Chain A
């Protein structure tokens, strides 16, 4: 993609994200904050799925773990920062524990293990009322204060979410540009060759899953103060499937995929609200259609188009060159 255009596009998007919300009312700010928070979870899932090629059906459960961390800690007087640290640590540790046995065996066992874990997590959220308040959930999750400034106003909390998203984005960029990024390309394109070059595919995949799950938990820690109420039905398989669809529709394996996918997943239900209960039916049909046509999602379509134009230009150049050579 032409760097100048993409840089301009990104600057415009950034400008919009920072300036436009000043004009938004409560509802618009809520939507945008949701987008920011879901993108973080989707980026984590993109690392697992898009870069390491493994399906996780537990990302929703990790969001729940992070959300409960935040809810329990902050309603007991602890700062949100502590909850964020705990969420990241728990997400990573549980991801590692789940992934380690599952990735030692072949096939797509991680998908099933995460599916089962999703059920288990929901049961824990619902049953362990002494910790999670059971089916009633935890209400009144407070928003933090940063250097004395309260983030309770929706605009301020939105900027906080945006700030965390920016940090996560930079961290991911760093990861993808490092030797790890190269290893992920290798393990995605040709795992056998990667192995023969010393790339420990199992270790890298496990790391991707653990890090991806940690990001899911981080997203949950931001979600709790955003919504204010944390209850079990919000973190079922449905959320995991939604996050998965975000990554797929946006374009799995592309850096910007999660941003686009989360945007669609957050905006589409609003625009198609007139469809009411038909919305999910239509959405799942669209996802199936998209997968048939372009398994690499929307950005994949754009990418293919660009590559096709580039190769056409290259062969046209070659053709005209050879024609001018052959001309007497």
Chain B
């Protein structure tokens, strides 16, 4: 069976700098892959190349065996890929429920049917389900700006899950979140992975988060793949330790 995501020899040059210098890896269905590496090793650039935010200078991205290099983010999303951002990107003026409806409405019908169809695009029930899943029930009609940072992070993740994606890429989901919320987030991610069989790729700095959540880890340094394997293996790998300590 084809892996959900195949990244082949991705390179990204910015002027004279090789931000990503030939990275290849696969993501199998249902797994939670962690990507770690010291600051500036090219993790976010790699994400942006996979997700269509940037055009890779070289290399190929395949989703379920189908080439998707250079597709726009909205097209990728409609093929079943969603993401969260490192810097929180929810819509502060919309309510929590509205944010969630927005997250899935583009998957419902055509543009025309959305113009003349119901106001919520038939998604109120699904949105309520997601609100329950993330335990945001009390805040459903609050403008998103009124949520705490941790709650907003949960909302961000919820939005990524709304359209029932095949593959979710999470960019530092644990950043700036307190311990309780972190445990909550990890719990919800695991649950979503088990219940819906979604595949995750997670970029993270928080080592404990990665080790306890991910089934497999790859390590990037200076734009290249440094190591790959089970969390415990990678943690013990001497070159990985050096890459982190050396910075």
Contacts and interface: CB of A to CB of B under 8 A. Distances in A.
Secondary structure at the A interface, as helix, strand, loop or mixed, is helix
A197 B82 contact: yes
Interface string A177-208: 11110110110011011111111110110010
A175 interface: yes
B119 A198 contact: no
Contact of B102 (A192, A197, A204): A197
Contact of B163 (A186, A189, A198): A198
A200 B73 CA distance: 9
Interface string B55-83: 00000000000000000111101100011
Given A192-B53, A197-B103, A198-B106, A185 B114 contact: no
A179 B73 contact: no
Contact of A177 (B83, B108, B119): B119
B91 A185 contact: yes
B135 interface: no
A283 B121 CA distance: 44
Contacts of A198: 74, 77-78, 106-107, 163
Nearest to A190: B89
A190 B91 contact: yes
A199 B103 CA distance: 9
A138 B137 CA distance: 63
A222 B61 CA distance: 53
B115 interface: yes
A186 B91 contact: yes
Contacts of B114: 178-180
A175 B115 contact: yes
Contacts of A185: 91, 93-94
Nearest to A200: B74
A179 B119 contact: yes
A197 B85 contact: no
B117 interface: yes
Most B C-beta atoms less than 10 A away, residue of A178, A180, A198: A198
B102 A196 contact: no
A20 B159 CA distance: 50
B33 interface: no
B6 interface: no
A195 B72 contact: yes
Interface in B96-119: 98, 101-103, 105-108, 111, 114-117, 119
A209 B121 CA distance: 23
Nearest to A189: B91
A115 B48 CA distance: 35
Contacts of B73: 192, 195-196
A201 B119 CA distance: 19
B119 A199 contact: no
Interface residues of A, number: 24
B214 to A, nearest CB: 22
B101 A182 contact: yes
Contacts of A180: 111, 114-115
A183 B105 contact: yes
A309 to B, nearest CB: 16
A199 B107 CA distance: 9
B51 interface: yes
B99 to A, nearest CB: 9
Nearest to B83: A196
A178 B91 contact: no
Contact of A182 (B74, B75, B83, B94): B94
Nearest to A193: B89
A207 B107 CA distance: 18
B63 to A, nearest CB: 15
Contacts of A193: 85, 89-91
A195 B101 CA distance: 15
Contacts of B82: 196-197
A193 B93 CA distance: 14
A194 B103 CA distance: 8
Nearest to B90: A193
A157 to B, nearest CB: 31
A201 B91 contact: no
A197 B115 contact: no
Contacts of A189: 91-93
Interface in A89-123: none
A313 B159 CA distance: 31
A105 to B, nearest CB: 14
Contact of B119 (A178, A183, A195, A197): A178
A35 B155 CA distance: 44
Interface of A: 175, 177-180, 182-183, 185-186, 189-190, 192-201, 203-204, 207
Interface of B: 51, 53, 72-75, 77-78, 82-83, 85, 89-94, 98, 101-103, 105-108, 111, 114-117, 119-121, 159, 163
8 contacts: A178-B114, A183-B106, A185-B94, A192-B89, A194-B74, A196-B51, A197-B102, A200-B75
Given A178-B117, A182-B102, A192-B53, 8 more contacts: A178-B115, A178-B119, A179-B120, A192-B85, A196-B82, A197-B74, A198-B74, A198-B106
